[in-house]
Structure 1
Amino acid sequence: MSLNEWSEEIVIAETGEEPAFSEDMSGLMSIVDDAERGDREMPDVVVNLSEVEYLNSSNIAQLLRLRKRLGAGGGKLRICSVGSQVWGVILVTGLDKLFEFHNDLATAIASLQLEP
């Protein structure tokens, strides 16, 4: 899939199944690396899971690392468009308490724009 800089402050990951998911997470981590070095501002990130039908333990670990690094630098993470099968994994693992989820991409972006 792809990474899109929606604005200077917001990066959108329109990700899919492996290996696209891991590639997109690596790309996001590179952007976070740049921000930690001071080459850019720490972005807010929206991960769109509309094309993802399965999350494995590696994918979950990648999302947790991204959340931790973004938070440490003042960035925010939103996850949107989660399918029912993936939502089941999220509920069982308790990730619904760690991440902020939105039904669609537009709502996720709006939540970032409206938050101070």
Structure 2
Amino acid sequence: MNLSILLLAFKSLRSNKLRSVLSVLGIVIGTFTIVFVNAISNGVDSFIKNQLSFLNATSIFVEPSSTSFASSRLKEEDLDEVLPKTKYVSVGTVLSMGRANVSAEGET
């Protein structure tokens, strides 16, 4: 039974050469793509870790950037949502900063 299945498979491969070549080519390209994307991802991860260790960074500050004139703000809920999803961050905190004019003895 198994021998007849193998013979039928080889006969099908020989009769449909173009389809067989294209199938093998698709499998090779797909495998190469997966390996390539994985290698790029690992390389970027290593690069970032290397840069952070080079800077001896123990604290990283994340600020929102705005592409418009309206200001965007990060909230404590954003921290609560993101912190459990991170792999390398153990502690997070919210920091509020602002600007103000200070005057003393008539000088600003």
Bin of the TM-score, shorter chain as denominator length: under 0.3
TM-score normalised to structure 1 length: 0.22
Instruction: Name whichever structure is richer in strand by fraction.
Output: 1
Instruction: Name whichever structure is richer in helix by fraction.
Output: 2
TM-score normalised to structure 2 length: 0.23
Who wins on radius of gyration, i.e. which is larger?
A: 2
Larger RCO: Structure 1 or Structure 2 (Cα < 8 Å, ≥ 6 residues apart)? 1
